[in-house]
Amino acid sequence: MFALLALGSAVVYGAADFIGGLTSRRADTVAIVLISQAAGLALVSLVLFLVPTSRPATADWLWGGLAGLAGGVGVGLLYRALAVGVMAVVAPITAVSAVVVPVAFAVALGERPAFLESAGIALAMMAILLVSQQTTSGPGLAVKRRSGIGLALAAGVAIGFFFLALANTSPDAGLWPLVAARMASVTLFTAVAVLARRSLRMERKLVLTAMAGGVLDMLANLLYLLASRMGPLTLAVTLSSLYPASTVLLARVVLHERLTARQWAGVLLALVAILLIVA
């Protein structure tokens, strides 16, 4: 059962990223992230009390808040990268970066990666080089591919810090760390919208789409938490980290995005790198 939950979280994560990136192409990214994060907060608030005997400590609130700030920045950068770049390139770069960050911190704290983890890091770097290759399909598309790479790398680093912070919360806290995370991210993007004088006005259809993306993102978080508590954490992380495949597939089917042979190899290599790093 837990494997199905983890795979479900990967599919839903990928769908949420696709929706967020697609919507950000038609409206302001800050507004899209704010609406989606608020929708996720509403969802987790509704299901919060379904988890019995939750006892969050002060540290859980703090780590959850830090996770929300890092995750909010990561989602904002990711949506922007997906909006200006090629989704099939952006998604795996972000995923690889997000997985590499926790490994780097573990090494800094004295841990030494096993052979498979070291091989995964090497493959991850090769994957980024491959998917970053320019294409001969035209100067406009080449620029579009390059423009999302830097944002994708930054998004992955921020999301990696989100995973690090959330991992420091206690299982006894239930879903409260997710509440703290969403409260922090909603506060952050509300402040950004006010200070930057960003308008939140958009078509009703775009608002509903952004809300759908936020609900899917939070649903993926819930599925992942359930999976990680029902089975081995390493396997749950492995399966949940396959979300770029969902984004790439949706981008191929809906947007008809095309990749060169090298970039397809990079996408596949990125997925293999994720499997090796978290194995």
Confidence band (pLDDT; 50, 70, 90) for 240? confident
d(CA 279, CA 263): 24
- pLDDT tens digits for 50-107? 776 678 899 999 999 999 999 999 999 988 888 888 777 888 888 888 877 877 777 7
Confidence band (pLDDT; 50, 70, 90) for 146? low
CA 171 to chain centre: 22
User: Is pLDDT at 136 greater than 50 in this prediction?
Assistant: no
C-alpha separations of 141 from 66, 75, 174, 264 in Å: 36, 24, 45, 16
Beta-carbon contacts of residue 104 (< 8 Å; ≥ 6 apart): none
Share of residues in the chain with pLDDT > 90 (%):
28
Q: In one letter, which amino acid is 270?
A: A
d(CA 212, CA 15): 10
- pLDDT tens digits for 95-121? 888 877 877 777 777 767 678 877 877
Confidence band (pLDDT; 50, 70, 90) for 256? confident
d(CA 161, CA 181): 12
* DSSP per-residue string spanning the chain: -HHHHHHHHHHHHHHHHHHHHHHHTTS-HHHHHHHHHHHHHHHHHHHGGGS-S----HHHHHHHHHHHHHHHHHHHHHHHHHHHS-HHHHHHHHHHHHHHHHHHHHHHTT----HHHHHHHHHHHHHHHHHT---SS-HHHHHHHHHHHHHHHHHHHHHHHHHHHHHTS-GGGTTHHHHHHHHHHHHHHHHHHHHTT------HHHHHHHHHHHHHHHHHHHHHHHHHHHS-HHHHHHHHTTHHHHHHHHHHHHS-----HHHHHHHHHHHHHHHHHH-
